[in-house]
Amino acid sequence: MSTITTIIIPAFNQLEYCRQCVSSILAYTTAPYKLVLVDNGSTDGVGVYFDSVPGAVVVHAERNLGFAAGVNLGLAHREGHALLLNSDTIVSPGWLEGLIAPLDEDPGIGAVGPMSNYVSGVQLLPGLDFKHIDEIHAYAAQCAEAHAGQRLEVNRLVGFCLLIRDTVADAVGDLDGQYGIGNYEDDDYCMRVQRAGHRLVVARDAFVFHYGSRTFLAMGYVNEAWEGLLQENQRRFREKWQIAPDEKADAIQRSLELNRRAQRLIEGGDVKGALAALKEAMEMAPTLEQNYNDVGVIQWTLGRHEDALENFRRALRLNPGHEAARENYIGAAETLGTAEAAVAFVRALDAASNAVSGKET
């Protein structure tokens, strides 16, 4: 773990969140690191605060350039690995070591992300509610112990906390600034990392707390404004990567695109829109297990626990190896007092799967 990691935090206003984030880094980061703080044209004192942080490299922009351009200003000062971090996060003891570990284990891994309480896709741990910062750190420690060494290979990592290997950052370069204020620049970067021949993994033993979308909300990107931002950046993403229009794409591809859209809507607080997108995704590809798992996650947060449990169960029927659905199903069943039946169901699925594949049970 001798390679230094450059932690890059772009921020536009939201001073109190910035204080919490930086304070946690200074208190709980023991692996070698360089801190680069990018003031993206803030007007509430963030720039002054950044200048006061000991040992930090501070970059000031005259106006809000957006997430990608802000990160790129920080990347100009990178040494070693690059870690992109949202300013509304809180890190815990051992966080950076947990993210670096997969890079040390496997040279084929190009980028790593943690689990979180507020994130889209498989990185989400649903239903978490922390009353005090000590609870965040206690949960992070519990996560590290319970899932030590567990990795999950994915096709997409969310940029709220994204560690990029030094050689990959060298080869892939800056984030694409065409996405403006934000959204899809992380999808774009993940696409580039994979096309360069590297893999993406989630470190399931690493947890980073995320308040979520604080800058977007403060800027007024809610409801129609958020939807408009998503649509425009989705269009840019699809045009860049020559993804076929809906009428020419196959059902699985269209369903995956709707799922991706739903995750973005969740990040923007539009739960109703996300559920509608996932319903359409299910209709488009009824056998795609990810959609059922993601609907279950939303239902659980809405208190529709029995519905959520059933959708986690459906996802597992379709794909017994879907780790997020398995974890969500077992966790939900434990909460509802039906853990014994859930474990029996999962074991039966595993036995059937092993029988088909010829493995011994």
Two structure tokens written together for 130: 């922390």
Average pLDDT over residues 241-261: 65
Two structure tokens written together for 156: 């997409």
Average pLDDT over residues 91-106: 97
**Nearest Cα to Cα of residue 312 among 349, 261, 277, 285:** 349
Two structure tokens written together for 98: 């947990």
Which pLDDT belongs to residue 350?
77
Q: How far apart are CA 75 and CA 69, in angstroms?
A: 10
Query: Residues of the chain with pLDDT > 90: what percent?
Result: 56
Task: Decide if pLDDT at 220 tops 70.
Answer: no
Please, what are the domains in the chain?
5-212 (3.90.550.10), 221-286 (no CATH), 292-361 (1.25.40)
Convert the pLDDT of each residue in 155-189 to its tens digit: 889 999 999 999 999 999 999 888 877 678 888 99
By CB atoms closer than 10 A (0-12, 13-18, 19+), residue 272 is exposed
Q: How far apart are CA 13 and CA 9, in angstroms?
A: 12
Task: Decide if pLDDT at 202 tops 50.
Answer: yes
Which pLDDT belongs to residue 248?
33
Which pLDDT belongs to residue 226?
60
Q: How far apart are CA 6 and CA 11, in angstroms?
A: 16
Give 358's pLDDT tier (boundaries 50, 70, 90).
very low
Strands (E), 86-227: 89-90, 109-115, 151-154, 161-164, 199-207, 209-210
Give 80's pLDDT tier (boundaries 50, 70, 90).
very high
Which position has the higher pLDDT, 5 or 356? 5
Q: Is the whole model's pTM more than 0.85, yes or no? A: no
Average pLDDT over residues 70-95: 97
Which pLDDT belongs to residue 283?
79
